């Protein structure tokens, strides 16, 4: 699909606007979107959003899942992507850094741009990945809807539930070693408030869609991990719908992964 899109993009870039019958002018951008929508959509690994308050263990669990299911699960930490962008010595990087340092949410168009590049790389580069875990996305309802319109739908939303007291205690403890500028008491309070105000709407949105899966995030990391592994045991096969030799290969990889525990 993307090779076709690049050809269409090159054609559209020849002119900022084109004339169509009945003297109706359509902009190059609108033409590109119209042609893009008609192109066949290539499949990408099923996408799972992993949500939870700051300090709920999203990144920890995504990393542990990837270690337990090597090659099958690929985690994408949205926060890490944004922090990497914030390190760039340019106006954009400094702007993103200032937003993160204040504990606010980076505008959706920035996050979606970063995520779309990662999804494209997954489509083009990996052939063993069976699930993409997006850690910490979407943060707002607007981001959730924009993702569906511009990239695709997620298969399920994994929500790690933690009380505010547990989140605050974890963040304060983490602040002693993390070195992150958003792990300070003042910013922690704002991050928790922002999460409650914005992400709670996202959680309810997916609950109504019937794809929200809740897990307690307050237990020990290994206990939380086991509940997620139990979920993925059947989910990975159902998500890709593999059969025959391909299905046997996936099952073999899964068995090998679990035997390492």
CA–CA distance, 80 with 137 (Å, rounded to integer) = 12
Beta bridge partners of 19: 25
Q: Is 210 helix (H, G, I), strand (E, B) or coil?
A: coil
What the chain holds in terms of domains, given with CATH numbers, is 2-38 (no CATH), 47-259 (3.40.50.300)
Q: What is the pLDDT of residues 156-196, one digit of tens each?
A: 999 999 999 999 999 988 877 776 666 677 788 888 888 88
CA–CA distance, 233 with 223 (Å, rounded to integer) = 16
* Model pTM above 0.75: no
Q: What is the pLDDT of residues 110-129, one digit of tens each?
A: 888 888 887 777 766 655 67
Higher pLDDT: 168 or 8? It is 168
């Amino acid at each position: 699909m993307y090779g076709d899109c690049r050809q269409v993009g090159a054609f559209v870039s020849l002119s900022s606007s084109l004339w169509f019958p009945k003297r109706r002018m359509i902009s190059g951008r609108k033409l590109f979107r119209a042609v893009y929508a008609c192109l066949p959509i290539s499949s990408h690994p099923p996408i799972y959003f992993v949500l939870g308050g700051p300090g709920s263990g999203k990144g920890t669990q995504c990393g542990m899942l990837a270690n337990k299911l090597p090659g099958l699960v690929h985690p994408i930490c949205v926060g890490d992507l944004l922090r990497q962008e914030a390190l760039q010595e340019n106006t954009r990087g400094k702007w993103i850094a200032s937003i993160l340092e204040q504990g606010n949410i980076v505008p959706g168009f920035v996050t979606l741009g970063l995520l779309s590049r990662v999804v494209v790389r997954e489509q083009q580069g990996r052939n063993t990945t069976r699930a993409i875990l997006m850690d910490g996305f979407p943060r707002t309802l607007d981001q959730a809807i924009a993702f569906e319109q511009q990239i695709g739908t997620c298969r399920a939303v994994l929500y790690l539930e933690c009380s505010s007291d547990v989140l605050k205690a974890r963040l304060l403890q983490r602040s002693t070693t993390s070195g992150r500028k958003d792990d300070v008491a003042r910013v922690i309070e704002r991050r928790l408030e922002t999460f409650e105000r914005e992400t709670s709407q996202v959680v309810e949105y997916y609950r109504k869609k019937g794809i929200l899966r809740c897990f307690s995030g307050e237990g020990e990391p290994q206990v939380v991990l086991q509940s997620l592994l139990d979920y993925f045991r059947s989910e990975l096969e159902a998500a890709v719908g593999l059969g025959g030799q391909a299905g046997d290969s996936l099952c073999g990889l899964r068995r090998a992964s679990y035997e390492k525990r």
